[in-house]
Structure 1
Amino acid sequence: MAAKKSQKNILPYKYRGLVLDEFQRQAIWYLEHKISTLVSAPTGTGKTLIADFLVEKTLEANQRLVYTAPIKALVNQKYREFHSRHGEKIGIVTGDISYRQEAPVVVMTTEILRNMLIRGDSRAADVNWVVFDEIHYLNHPERGTVWEETILCIPKSTLILGLSATIPNAKQLAQWMESIGRHVAVVEHRERAVPLRHLYFTKHSEAVEREGLLQAVAESPSINADTKGGTLDWDELSILRRQRRSGSARTATHLDLIHYAAKNRLFPCLYFVFSREGCEEKAKELAGTRDYLSAREKEAVRVNVRRKLQKAELSPEDIPKYNTWYSQWLRGIGVHHAGLLPVVREITEQLLERQLLKVIYATETFAVGVNMPVRTVCFDTLVKYDGEEVRYLTQHEYFQMAGRAGRRGWDKQGTVISRIEETAPGALPTWSESSIEPIRSRFHISFNMVVNLLARFQPWEIEEFLSHTLCSFQHQQGVPDVRSSAELMDDFRAKWALLQELEYMDGTKLLAKGEICRNIYIQEILVTELIASGLLQELKPEELAGLAAAIVYTPKAGDPNLTLSPPRWTPAVDLIYDRVSKIDTQQLIGGFSVYPVISPVVAAWAEGRGLREVLKKHPLDPGDLVTVCRQSIDLLRQILTAVPQASIRGKVLEAISRLDRGVVRVTTE
């Protein structure tokens, strides 16, 4: 017996030919012993290998697993990886695409799992494991509530694997899960597989560490300060910066930084710029002066691009600015941001993976949606405008991007170089993963949650449910800016009362509009009222597509405010808004967000017009058109589930079919 017990407690040493780190071995041991596990470790340390192990063992045991990720791009990436290893045992669901939902392992967005669980969908209940990739999304200001609701709704019999970047309060999260009856082991790992070196690029085209930067800036001719024998601190320096003379010297450019990286053999390099236009401008400037590929590498680029376009059933003529992107790829330079067509982003990712790109100019969406390390990460600036103020990056934002530096098995260290300007606000932060901001509950009670909970539970059970939230748990522990369970229940009751006034509920009984609302997750009150009004029956499929787009689209800075030809459904939306506003005296709904300007653009695409013609109607990036069409398809699928009338369902299906074509279509390949 002693020998068997000893064997049982031996930690695994290797997996898929790779020697496991201690934290990976610990996590796998817990998983083998059917223990829910929360893993917190820096980006690039090999957390996904733990999930790969669990997927393989789940399939061997003929069990079921749901793998969730926060971004559709990550869901698609994981699906392709798992499908290449396990074939038809893998399915995918993202709201706008569904394939093999009944497979033993299904990859999906966290929102999809939340929606299934809160409706009481049996497919979500009959699962052995749920994997949360990027579980630190609990801290996302708008979407964090989805992760909290999902964890609350998962049956106690279902085990959880949570994978997180470094978070300081991982043990608190585990304690919360323990408090709601779920035993959770915590595996924390602080060290990076490839350590990071943080450097700052000065106007003298030198990359120096923080201490060297302080002295270089203080002693620059534009400030001319005494460094006090090296004791000058950043707060004093920020005062001196304001006293600088107007004729300051030239600031180092991105070309200087890239030249430094090339000279010091720091490619491939991921260069973060916080604007799409900035990415494209800088790539154009670099491509005008540099060519990093050999003739053989150029031919490999041609083959990869041709193969990708053939698989996507697209031609160069289907892709705006194709000649620009193709010319840059042939020089080893790429651009990656959400405004590009998905196929352009995918080609860029594929060429980087094959080491055919040396420099990629990207926005921060690359760090969230793509798991692809490089040797060097560069920041064009450490300052960003967040919609309210100009500020330095948070610790989490910085390491989400900087953590891509350093390729395990390739590099002894990852290099992070930040271009610094003297006009930066305040004191430069000291970057440390031990200073990353803790996760705080973002729990929010939506009207969809209210109707779904009342459809399944008694009020006293709902009160108990709300008392089990991370929000309530953290309030009891003294975390600031989170609500108590009593405050949550007050909010719930207020929204329940409003739903009764709007005739969604009769006490605890769902009425017709309440049943519709159960299946709508985007502006549920507006969409439910539109369905109930009979408006959808009057619209053509292309008008229905345009209406869906107006509901899902979030206008950006610079988007036009008015349209000369408002859609004919506009008065109906105005009437609904006026009627609901008179009843919603507490403004619990918070108004409706509808952007009619986008409607004729998406309607034109649904009518079968070409991409270039459609984009002439609105200053829209091609990738944004694809995104709004995919989001419209998602909303239309929700409407399809919510309405029983065959006449409406036919129009909805036609609208989906018309949107889902060409560059908008998503394939499972």
Structure 2
Amino acid sequence: MELNVKYRDYILDDFQIQAITEIENGHSLVLSAPTGSGKTLVAEYLIEKVLKSDKRIIYTSPIKALSNQKYRDFSRLYGDKVGILTGDVVINRDAQALIVTTEVYRNMAMEDPEAIADVSYVIFDEIHYLGDIERGTVWEESIIFSPKTVRFLALSATIPNCDELAGWIESVIDHQVKVISHNNRAVPLSFLFHYKKQLITFKELKKKVTGKGALDEAFEDHKRGRRGKKETEFRHLDIIKNLRNLDRLPLLYFVFSRALADKFSYETSRKMDFTTPKDKAEIEEIVDSCLEKYQLQNLETAQRLREELLKGVGRHHAGLMPQLKELVEILFAKKFLKVLFVTETFAVGINMPARSVGYDALKKYDGRSFRPMQSLEFTQISGRAGRRGIDTTGWVVVPHIPSDLSIIELQNLVYGDIEHLESRFDLSFNSVLNLYSGHKTEEVRTILKRNFAQFQANKKLPELTSKVNKIRAEIEAIMPRCPEKKNDFEDYMVFYKRKQQQEDTMNRQLNNIRFGMRGRNKNNHFEMEDLMKKFSKNREQLTEKENTFICGKCKTKNKCISKYQQTVKLQKKLDYWRELLEEQGELQLPLYERKLEILRSLGYIDANGLLPRGEFASRIHTEEITVTELMFHGYFHECTEHEINAIALSLVYEYRRRGGAANNDQSRVLSKLPEKLKSAKGFVNSLARQHSFVKPLENKICHLMLAWSAGATFEEIMDMTDIPEGDIIRAFRQVIDLLRQIRDAVKDMSLRDKLLTCLACINRDIVLATELRD
């Protein structure tokens, strides 16, 4: 079909025309194109197309911040035809266009397929999250459990193996999946490297680091000692000064630490000023209006941020209150901010490019250990450089940090190939329960073979099968062929092995005796002679026994034995590759069966299906085993509403060492906690000692929820802790999500009413005002 080259007021690029053509032809589509190239335009076209029909469309995103942003954007375009469902936020859930997190869509597809029976398209934004070690399984399950009638639009800036991903999706949904991979950026990137207060090209950097004189420079650096360390501490200021002189601001400066973002923003605002008096007046009006609207004038962090913003400097990370993050975004969009210190989530959740992007480090903590950045991560972040229609080049500034990366590793990170998308499929207990209750055994086996990990493994099966067949052929070729009509080779080899073992034992004993008798009296050598006579007699008896075998008397027995020993070695190889082949054929089945056994031992299932514990846990997606055990041991029935909220906070919040009750004596705070909270912690921690999959309960911040739930103001809460405001609000909203899961899973109406009261105690004031901003 022919399409107009314009959509709205945009002239479409070729890849956008191709994508829309495939959509019009009724195909699913994997679309990979750089950040800022216009993928969202294709999504908007598809949404408008579905809105003209009697069907529905679902837009999924990896994080709530992006879901909220998309809801705001699409609501401006399509009004009340748009809804949002993210666990803690529910607005217009039956809307024709529904914005959800991928976890929410997975739950709908797996647990309530009727709810999406009229959905014709699902858009998966940031589909490369399928390779995320923590959450990738959710993306796979979302695709596997979608109705066959659904079509997909999968979007990403970076998927090297698009064809493989599309091939897997096609194998799952049984219809054609097209691939469009657009590699040309709307604004090309140019890379500069920070080296000794200068910004230089990679060619210049390599010459300085590996060329003549590099050793002399390294020696001088060593002599500088502390002064060299000071230079790295103020790297951000060097980079900003250089870019300012080159007229390459605004800058997004990426750090992998919230504390550094705060520190750098403060330092930069103290040393530099990027705004005119007119700018300051406008910034002041916007900031003060926001602080007054949300009653944040007395919040110390808000006032400190205000001072930084007036200088044209800002910061944006999860520790900031969502209202303050939104304020920063508004000022950045209005071009008042010239330097913005951000963490990695900014590259995913916020569509706000800049002329330049800078890095403070090339190593990050991934929740397990510090590791070098991956090319995929580097490409995603660097893609924020260059504003379409404004800049002719996007500038990326990369630090030279030898302790992070060697010059070769640095070159591979910046200019090398991006890692292929790999499956991280891992079944949760919730998934196992839903599979067990909704499908027969053979159906489960079929479903478990449909994941991306199995699809990738299946590609290796022909090679593994060929290897197994080759080794089998080698064994067959080497296996001794007896010229006699009759033989007893198998029995003979059993005897032969025993004979070899006995002879080896005798030889070891003789060697030990020889070693022990060195330097002794010669008369003692009679002992040695007696032993040798005994062993000689044993050997004669073995030889007599050997001659009772047909093969033992055969002249070619040594040749046959040699071949047999070769086949034994090959058999070990065969066993290894055959076992690997069997494992690759059904990767997930052993894990599924292990988890079934655990659930059976805990009383969640029996031969007939789910037991009450299992039915409840199948509706819980956060620490499902722990929540279920707390429920069935009466904690939610017996605790007060405030205690339930505090327990829920302990379940969802990951305590950071630098946070906590910094303004109180920790032991005094914990000693004042209600006995039920102490009991819950002891109960859960006892479970954790028994089962590695249960996370210990942390109650160090329970006092914050007890106070908030009882009606304390947010200022009063913040006086009790040094945990960042944004973390507190997000944790409270995660509690809302968990309590809603529990409310929907319980059948006891009095407990449901109690949980509604719990929710009302939390979802108020600043927490309620945040629901569409986090």
Deviating more after overlay: 451-460 vs 368-377: 451-460
1:341/1:663 contact within 8 Å kept? no
1:457 is aligned to: 439
Q: How does 1:182-193 map to 2 (within 5 A)?
A: 182-193=175-186
| SS of residue matched to 1:95 | coil
Per-residue deviation, residues 315-360 of structure 1 (Å, max 9, x unmatched): 2336442211111112111111111111111111111111111110
Partners of 1:573 and 1:506 in 2: how far apart? Answer: 29
1:544 is aligned to: 644
1:375 is aligned to: 355
Partners of 1:370 and 1:546 in 2: how far apart? Answer: 32
Q: How does 1:512-661 map to 2 (within 5 A)?
A: 512-559=612-659, 563-567=670-674, 568-575=676-683, 578=686, 587=691, 590-661=693-764
| SS of residue matched to 2:122 | strand
Structure 1 residues 627, 653: CA separation in 2 closer, same or farther (over 3 Å shift)?
same
Deviation at 1:564, TM superposition (A): 3.9
1:361 is aligned to: 341
2:138 is aligned to: 146
Deviating more after overlay: 321-330 vs 337-346: 321-330
Partners of 2:25 and 2:648 in 1: how far apart? Answer: 47
Query: What are the ranges of 5 or more consecutive residues in structure 1 without an aligned counterpart?
Result: 1-7, 226-239
Structure 1 residues 171, 222: CA separation in 2 closer, same or farther (over 3 Å shift)?
closer
1:537/1:648 contact within 8 Å kept? yes
Per-residue deviation, residues 148-170 of structure 1 (Å, max 9, x unmatched): 00000111101100001211111
Matched, 1:346 2:326: yes
Per-residue deviation, residues 408-445 of structure 1 (Å, max 9, x unmatched): 11111100012334544433422457611111111111
1:328 is aligned to: 308
Partners of 1:385 and 1:73 in 2: how far apart? Answer: 22
Which of residues 45, 54, 58 is equivalent to 2:50?
58
2:317 is aligned to: 337
Structure 1 residues 578, 595: CA separation in 2 closer, same or farther (over 3 Å shift)?
closer
1:92/1:101 contact within 8 Å kept? yes
Which of residues 95, 110, 122 is equivalent to 2:102?
110
Matched, 1:199 2:180: no
Query: What are the ranges of 5 or more consecutive residues in structure 2 without an aligned counterpart?
Result: 465-579, 661-665
1:5 is aligned to: none
2:610 is aligned to: 510
2:505 is aligned to: none
Matched, 1:404 2:388: no
Which of residues 765, 768, 771 is equivalent to 1:662?
765
Q: Which amino acid in structure 2 is aligned with residue 197 of structure 1?
A: S
> % of aligned pairs identical?
36
2:55/2:96 contact within 8 Å kept? yes
Deviating more after overlay: 556-565 vs 452-461: 556-565
Partners of 2:291 and 2:132 in 1: how far apart? Answer: 35
Question: Rg: which structure is higher?
Answer: 2
Partners of 1:505 and 1:396 in 2: how far apart? Answer: 41
2:208/2:214 contact within 8 Å kept? no
Normalised to the residue count of structure 1, the TM-score between the two structures is: 0.90
Q: How does 1:60-75 map to 2 (within 5 A)?
A: 60-75=52-67
1:90/1:106 contact within 8 Å kept? yes
Which of residues 257, 260, 268 is equivalent to 2:250?
268
Partners of 1:218 and 1:283 in 2: how far apart? Answer: 34
Which of residues 283, 287, 292 is equivalent to 1:301?
283
1:493 is aligned to: 593
Deviation at 1:387, TM superposition (A): 5.0
| SS of residue matched to 1:597 | coil
Per-residue deviation, residues 77-127 of structure 1 (Å, max 9, x unmatched): 100110001110000011001000111000010000001111034122320
Per-residue deviation, residues 224-258 of structure 1 (Å, max 9, x unmatched): 16xxxxxxxxxxxxxx6899445465456322211
Q: Which amino acid in structure 2 is aligned with residue 452 of structure 1?
A: N
1:44/1:193 contact within 8 Å kept? yes
| SS of residue matched to 1:361 | strand
Q: How does 1:443-482 map to 2 (within 5 A)?
A: 443-478=425-460
Partners of 2:458 and 2:656 in 1: how far apart? Answer: 39
Partners of 1:241 and 1:505 in 2: how far apart? Answer: 67
Per-residue deviation, residues 6-49 of structure 1 (Å, max 9, x unmatched): xx2x2441111111111111111111111100001122211111
Partners of 2:315 and 2:386 in 1: how far apart? Answer: 20
2:265 is aligned to: 283
Partners of 1:319 and 1:365 in 2: how far apart? Answer: 24
2:283/2:336 contact within 8 Å kept? yes
Q: Which has the higher helix share?
A: 2
Partners of 1:224 and 1:632 in 2: how far apart? Answer: 58
1:335/1:361 contact within 8 Å kept? yes
2:647/2:680 contact within 8 Å kept? no
Deviation at 1:557, TM superposition (A): 3.9
Per-residue deviation, residues 585-639 of structure 1 (Å, max 9, x unmatched): xx5x622342111212222111221223323433311111011101111100000
| SS of residue matched to 1:65 | strand
Per-residue deviation, residues 462-513 of structure 1 (Å, max 9, x unmatched): 1100011111111112399997453411221222222222222221422211
Structure 1 residues 75, 318: CA separation in 2 closer, same or farther (over 3 Å shift)?
farther
Partners of 1:241 and 1:553 in 2: how far apart? Answer: 47
Deviating more after overlay: 294-303 vs 176-185: 294-303
| SS of residue matched to 2:700 | helix
Deviation at 1:558, TM superposition (A): 3.3
Structure 1 residues 576, 598: CA separation in 2 closer, same or farther (over 3 Å shift)?
closer
1:276/1:363 contact within 8 Å kept? yes
Q: Which amino acid in structure 2 is aligned with residue 209 of structure 1?
A: T
Deviation at 1:219, TM superposition (A): 6.9
Partners of 2:677 and 2:353 in 1: how far apart? Answer: 48
Partners of 2:631 and 2:220 in 1: how far apart? Answer: 58
2:125/2:156 contact within 8 Å kept? yes
Deviation at 1:147, TM superposition (A): 0.2
Per-residue deviation, residues 516-544 of structure 1 (Å, max 9, x unmatched): 11110011011011111221111111111
Partners of 2:219 and 2:621 in 1: how far apart? Answer: 49
Deviating more after overlay: 72-81 vs 365-374: 365-374
Deviation at 1:580, TM superposition (A): 8.3
**Number of residue pairs matched by the alignment:** 639
Partners of 2:693 and 2:384 in 1: how far apart? Answer: 39
Deviating more after overlay: 530-539 vs 626-635: 530-539
1:466/1:485 contact within 8 Å kept? no
Partners of 1:309 and 1:559 in 2: how far apart? Answer: 25
Partners of 1:25 and 1:593 in 2: how far apart? Answer: 53
Matched, 1:429 2:410: yes
2:291/2:297 contact within 8 Å kept? no
2:240 is aligned to: 258
| SS of residue matched to 2:297 | helix
2:541 is aligned to: none
1:194/1:407 contact within 8 Å kept? yes
Partners of 1:580 and 1:395 in 2: how far apart? Answer: 37
Q: Which amino acid in structure 1 is aligned with residue 588 of structure 2?
A: L
Q: Which amino acid in structure 1 is aligned with residue 607 of structure 2?
A: G
| SS of residue matched to 1:644 | coil
| SS of residue matched to 1:145 | helix
1:399/1:433 contact within 8 Å kept? no
Partners of 1:659 and 1:489 in 2: how far apart? Answer: 42
Deviation at 1:573, TM superposition (A): 4.8
